[in-house]
Amino acid sequence: MHGARHRQDLLPRCLKLLDRQKTLVSRPDVSALDRGVLLHFQSLIAAVAASQKTVMAFQEAVMAFQEAVVAMNPVGIALTLVGALVGLLGSTLSKSEDPEAECEKKEHEQGGLIKHCHHTVDEENDCPVTPVLDAIRNRRSVFPKQYIDREIPSAVVQSMLDAAAWAPYHGPRPPWRFVVLGKQAMVEMQQLTLKFYDKNWAQTGWANGKKGTAEEYLRWREMTEQEITGRWGPCSYMIANVMRRQAGSKRLPEWEEAAATACAVHNMHIQACSFPGVACYWSSWHDAARDSAEMASFLGLEDKEDKVLGFLVIAAYAPDLLTDKDRRVRGRSHTMAEWRV
Ligand SMILES: Cc1cc2nc3c(=O)[nH]c(=O)nc-3n(C[C@H](O)[C@H](O)[C@H](O)COP(=O)(O)O)c2cc1C
């Protein structure tokens, strides 16, 4: 932040210096040699102003100028003063108390690989913590047990959809489609689920593949029906995550479309967690019902290869009642990375 502010200051200061230089160049007592140096300096400042090059390049230019001035005649004294002024400006810009400037220096040393470096450090892992990493770490799944009866504004969902739009995707159009189910639509979707199992339980099983007797099915059914007002009752929305298969001859592999849709879902979840008190988690939903023709028709899937990749469940919760104990822990051992360097 500080570095950015200094860089913004740089432009007006350069323009002021340019003005001063122009006045000096037009003075009749300036020799041709001095004028040449002045013009050279002028172009340097103009270059800095135009391109806002790095502080280091700026300081190098100033030092070169000062060296040229030191080797000069009486007019050079005046010029050295200007140079000193510029040097001061340069050193202000590169002050080490500016953490971003420090990081820029580090970035330069490391070949420009660290693009964004910010002020805090993860002491456990000795790495910089960026706002991005903060936001990613802040994402967590909050489950129905924690939900309270409070409405989540639709603007929260809209901002989640806005975040989804920034996910990467291959090809000409996003391979996702989201269907936002409000209170009534959520109930309809659950009734559709029950109806589907009533018809198909003997073949598909229920509860993600569980099979058993009619009595067992009916017990599960009763519990699941109660969940409409119980477990899911406090939910404000469920978002159906639909992966759309591209039409036409140049079809991309399905995995790319599933991966892109998952990225969009992840963006939504991260965005949801930026609002205090907004609970969100990704549910697979009941598998056979989720993959059924009835669900496809309910959600308006266009192609038989489109897929419902579960639902994002959105509700309110009381953050004070939730501790870090309730969440899955992550650490370096979860990166599952093999370095071959
Ligand atoms: C595609 C997908 C589907 C999931 N489905 C369910 C589910 O149906 N029920 C469930 O309890 N957890 C499900 N999970 C796991 C949770 O949503 C959550 O990600 C997990 O508990 C880890 O917690 P965290 O998100 O706070 O790190 C699913 C996760 C993914 C990625």
Supply the range of the domain harboring residue 70: 2-93
Per-residue pLDDT tens over the stretch 134-176: 999 999 999 999 999 999 999 999 999 999 999 999 998 999 9
Query: 114 or 131: which carries more pLDDT confidence?
Result: 131
Nearest to 283 by CA among 217, 190, 210, 185: 190
CA distance 318 to 290: 30
90 lines ligand 1 (CB under 6 A): no
Looking at the domain assignment, is residue 341 inside a domain?
Answer: no
Q: Are residues 82 and 155 in the same domain?
A: no
Looking at the domain assignment, is residue 111 inside a domain?
Answer: no
- The domain boundary, picked from 93, 126, 152, lies at 93
In three-state secondary structure terms, 265 is: helix
What pLDDT score does 116 carry? 37
**Please, are residues 243 and 258 in contact by the beta-carbon 8 Å criterion?**
yes
Best substitution site from 243, 283, 287, 322 to test ligand 1's pocket, by max atoms within 8 Å of Cβ? 283
310 lines ligand 1 (CB under 6 A): yes
140 lines ligand 1 (CB under 6 A): yes
Which residue owns the Cα nearest ligand 1 atom 25?
A: 141
CA distance 96 to 94: 6
What pLDDT score does 114 carry? 37
Looking at the domain assignment, is residue 73 inside a domain?
Answer: yes
Nearest to 272 by CA among 316, 214, 216, 335: 316
In whole angstroms, how far apart are CA 226 and each of 15, 52, 186, 230, 282? 71, 64, 14, 6, 21
| 313 strand-pairing partners | 238, 281
* CATH at 165: 3.40.109.10
CA distance 128 to 118: 7
Mean pLDDT to the nearest integer, 311-316: 98
What pLDDT score does 323 carry? 85
Q: Which residues, 6 or more positions from 87, have their beta carbon under 8 angstroms from its beta carbon?
A: 59, 62, 63, 66
What does the DSSP assignment read for 233-263? TT--EEEEEEEPPPPSSSPPPHHHHHHHHHH
Q: Are residues 152 and 60 in the same domain?
A: no
Q: Which amino acid is at 108?
A: H
Alpha helices in the chain (DSSP H): 2-25, 32-51, 55-70, 74-93, 99-109, 131-138, 154-164, 183-204, 214-229, 254-272, 287-290, 293-299
Residue 164, judged by CB atoms within 10 A of its CB (0-12, 13-18, 19+), counts as buried
Looking at the domain assignment, is residue 117 inside a domain?
Answer: no
Around Cβ 66, how many Cβ atoms within 10 Å? 17
Q: Which amino acid is at 229?
A: T
To which residue do tokens 């549910």 refer?
A: 283
Q: Are residues 172 and 88 in the same domain?
A: no
Core vs surface per residue 175-199: b (16+ CB within 10 A) or e: bbbbbbbeeebbeebbebbbebbee
Per-residue pLDDT tens over the stretch 277-296: 999 999 999 999 999 999 99
**Beta pairing, strands 278-283 & 307-317:** antiparallel
327 lines ligand 1 (CB under 6 A): yes
Q: Are residues 324 and 182 in the same domain?
A: yes
Total tally of structural domains belonging to the chain: 2
Please report, rounded to a whole number, the percentage of residues in the chain having pLDDT higher than 70: 61
pLDDT band at 325 (very low <50, low <70, confident <90, very high): confident
Q: Are residues 71 and 161 in the same domain?
A: no
Per-residue pLDDT tens over the stretch 94-117: 444 444 455 445 544 443 333 333
Q: Are residues 144 and 251 in the same domain?
A: yes
Best substitution site from 138, 139, 141 to test ligand 1's pocket, by max atoms within 8 Å of Cβ? 141
Looking at the domain assignment, is residue 125 inside a domain?
Answer: no
**Please, are residues 117 and 111 in contact by the beta-carbon 8 Å criterion?**
no
Q: Are residues 60 and 166 in the same domain?
A: no
pLDDT band at 327 (very low <50, low <70, confident <90, very high): confident
pLDDT band at 246 (very low <50, low <70, confident <90, very high): confident
pLDDT band at 13 (very low <50, low <70, confident <90, very high): low
What pLDDT score does 188 carry? 98
Angle CA(37)–CA(66)–CA(102) in degrees, nearest 5?
125
CA of residue 283 to ligand 1 center, whole Å: 6
